[in-house]
Copies of this chain bind each other. A is one copy, B any other.
């Protein structure tokens, strides 16, 4: 299977990496980029992520596949526009970190079945076309939501593409996706942002952080470099699940605090031994 023309809406980390993966495998003849930021399309052209930059309506008209990877708040109106333009020989897919609001917004749309709601579970803390990398997605999981609302041929095509990039699949309803995403991804970003603020607040000697910070610190705060324009709408759209897990996290931290205050070594050890169980899950 080979596309003639694919449009990526948004020319950044995810869409740029997706485009490179298509091109590297000879799965597409031409990639069109759509972005409101001219500097981004310019950069994407230079980097070979796209072959051409066009306005959205022009691009959609010419494409077999329209791949949307922009902040999740903007996705909703833009996706609406796209769905109003397509024919039933085209496929639309997204790559957003939240799924419920988007799926609900498309419910009942006459073209709903041409849309595949997807979340490839891969990313880095960087953004923009310069952040795109080769061989992204490999070995990671891709979530597909409301598979039953998409045409089988559209799902097959999208699975085939991602499978060639090394992904495997899980299927869930949109609300379950958002809940799990809060637990295994969104909360990590909140803790990392908050940890960066903590250390910047307490550690006035930046040279000390710079000198002393080892791999452990870097690893726990690296997500704090993530783009607020990406993450703010994710947190807002998924605020109930995120609040739920954030409340639990604060209460877990309070247990550590209370152990230290009371010098309760027994319970402190128990907390850490319980945390060690994460070894079963991440290698």
A226 to B215, CA, bound (A): 13
Q: Which of B183, B236, B246, B248 contacts A265 (CB under 8 A)?
A: B236
Which B residues lie within 8 Å of A190 (CB)? 253, 256
A5 to B204, CA, bound (A): 43
A203 with B191: CB separation less than 8 A: no
Pairs A–B under 8 Å by Cβ, sample size 22: A123-B215, A124-B215, A170-B212, A184-B199, A185-B212, A185-B217, A188-B216, A191-B220, A194-B275, A195-B249, A196-B274, A196-B276, A196-B277, A198-B249, A199-B245, A210-B281, A224-B276, A228-B272, A236-B268, A239-B260, A249-B253, A250-B254
A225 → chain B closest CB, angstroms: 5
Q: Which of B122, B184, B217 contacts A188 (CB under 8 A)?
A: B217
Task: Tell me if A163 is interfacial: C-beta within 8 Å of chain B.
Answer: no
A263 → chain B closest CB, angstroms: 7
Smallest CB gap from A120: residue in B: B214
- Using a CB–CB cutoff of 8 Å, the interface residues on chain A facing chain B are 121-125, 140-141, 143, 170, 180-181, 183-185, 187-203, 205-206, 208-226, 228, 231-232, 235-236, 239, 242-250, 252-257, 260-261, 263, 265, 268-269, 271-282
A221 → chain B closest CB, angstroms: 6
Smallest CB gap from A253: residue in B: B194
A214 with B257: CB separation less than 8 A: no
A66 → chain B closest CB, angstroms: 25
- Given A249-B198, A250-B257, A260-B246, A219:B208 Cβ within 8 A: no
B275 with A196: CB separation less than 8 A: yes
Given contacts A235-B268, A236-B263, A250-B257, 8 further A-B contacts (CB under 8 A): A170-B212, A180-B208, A180-B212, A183-B208, A184-B213, A192-B216, A197-B252, A246-B253
Which B residues lie within 8 Å of A255 (CB)? 194, 197
Smallest CB gap from A242: residue in B: B260
A123 → chain B closest CB, angstroms: 7
A207 → chain B closest CB, angstroms: 9
Smallest CB gap from A140: residue in B: B214
Which B residues lie within 8 Å of A193 (CB)? 256, 271-272, 275
A101 to B211, CA, bound (A): 23
A250 to B251, CA, bound (A): 9
Smallest CB gap from A247: residue in B: B257
Which B residues lie within 8 Å of A246 (CB)? 253, 256-257, 260
A72 to B181, CA, bound (A): 38
